[in-house]
Amino acid sequence: MNNLNEKEKMMSGEIYDAGDPVLVEERQKCKDLCFEYNHLLPSKIEDRKNIIKSLFGKTTDNFHIEQPFYCDYGYNIEIGENFYTNHNVVILDCAKVTFGDNVFIAPNCGFYTAGHPLDAERRNKGLEDAKPISVGNNVWIGGGCTILPGVTIGDNTVIGAGSVVTKDIPANVLAFGNPCKVVREI
């Protein structure tokens, strides 16, 4: 018998109820912090950094996240040294989202760990699952990319603009398209 609460189910990749009051409260707290972050003057860099440090599970001292920025929980996001995102990045971090060092993310990118059942009856009950996303070191993700649940992107890889990454992409390659495919080695 499964005695896990909904948050434990979410964190372990099992089907969980996204409408669970604890999860709703945690998402609301995160949305409030994102709102505060997105409404700070851009010149308030230290205040912005402090909000991200309180929101994310792991940060370094050297990172920059352009406004606006959105995430679901925050505590499932880990960033390495010299991390940069341009405007309008969304990270739905129902599962862990890990970024290595020297990761650069162009505008309008989304990292989505959440998935929903194909069966409409289960989906309409608010059930979902989540799979982690991992991005290696020295990765550049072009504008308008979508990274789907369970994807790993290897070190030194470039993902071309507009790509939809549905499967793992190895290290040291240029990949792009919908679905994203390796085009050549770097």
Q: What is the pLDDT of residues 49-75, one digit of tens each?
A: 999 999 999 999 999 999 999 999 999
Quick one: which of 57, 76, 83, 170 has its CA closest to 132? 76
Over residues 4-17, the mean pLDDT reads: 95
Tens-digit pLDDT profile for residues 89-118: 999 999 999 999 999 999 999 999 999 999
Angstrom CA distances, 89 to 14, 37, 94, 123, 134, stand at: 26, 13, 16, 26, 16
Distance CA 186, CA 176 (A): 13
Domains, the chain, ordered by start: 6-185 (2.160.10.10)
pLDDT digits (tens, 9 = 90+) for 123-159: 999 999 999 999 999 999 999 999 999 999 999 999 9
Q: List residues bridging with 158 in a β-sheet.
A: 140, 174
What is the tens place of the pLDDT at every residue in 161-182? 999 999 999 999 999 999 999 9
Residue 2 has pLDDT above 90, yes or no: no
pLDDT above 90 coverage of the chain, percent:
97
- What rounded mean pLDDT belongs to the chain? 97
Query: pTM for the complete prediction?
Result: 0.96
Q: Name the residues annotated as catalytic.
A: 116
1 pLDDT above the threshold of 60: no
